[in-house]
Structure 1
Amino acid sequence: MYDSMTVVDTDELMELKKQAEEINKRIAELTAPKNIAYRCKVKPYGLPYFLDNDARNPVVFTDRHYDTDAWAHFLALGKMIHAENGVFKTRGMSWRRVPFYVDELGGNVPKKVSDLTQEEVRISAEMLEKMISIYNEYMVRMHTCVTLDCEGILTEVPVQHPESGTEI
């Protein structure tokens, strides 16, 4: 009965387990979706609006209804930071005998998020969270009230602060 079983010592078993964990980690990394939006916890605020589109409710900012145009610009910036560094070639001399260099390959920006590595996606998401937080801070600062038009009667309604719920 023991002849058909393979005997493996504990050191070899631990080494095999370690290799299996590394392989599983690599598989998870390669199959994980490359999506910056899911990694960003913060989205750019759109303009303030009445909660549930009812003028009896307060006016609020929310990242649930985020600004898709602003998000597209942030996403473009998230890809731009991964542009390839240029290769500069000498192209003659200037009149002062200083070499003149031309960038031949620089500026190649990844077209799709799927062209980025997981590490690049993580870095982009981290950068975008910081940038969007600053953007949202200024959106809140610039949009303190909305104007409500009820049959020609204009009323200014204050916007509630997103975190505290108090009027700005």
Structure 2
Amino acid sequence: MRYLIREKLFTIGDDYWIEDEDGHRAFLVDGKVLRLRDTFELKDASGRVLAVIKEKAFTVRDAMKIENADGDVIATVREKLFTPFRDKYHVELAGGGELKIHGNLVDKDYRIENSHGDDLARISRKWFRIRDSYGVQIADGADTGLLLAVAACVDHLTEED
């Protein structure tokens, strides 16, 4: 499934919709204002919270944690210790394992893959002619909520750099 994300431009609280390939609003990234650290909620179209994304405070390397609706940490998106020019972040899964993020993060042309090298998601601006937008293509059977939350984390962390 492919999703369209319009980059946020001067939005209050950093709220933005993620649309499916048919143009329907599928997920809302709801930014929470007046918090000590940046916090977002990923909600489905009916308003149910799928994930809470929080910037980790007091860390040497940039990091954001992704929690499920019950408050359990399911993943942490973290800056790598040694970063070649383009691969800057990786995802540590709470259940063990890691997701790798490869490509050009600033230009939004990268992929997220599992530890076996299988592509789980591909992020690209090239699919859409709409200005200030990019697409996220999720592999069949992959965790859509987690991968969209990871993409939101990468977007936020690269924006802060």
Q: Which has the higher strand share?
A: 2
**Structure 1-normalised TM-score?**
0.22
User: Which structure's CA Rg is the greater one?
Assistant: 1
TM-score (norm 2): 0.23
Q: Which is bigger in relative contact order (C-alpha 8 A, separation at least 6)?
A: 1
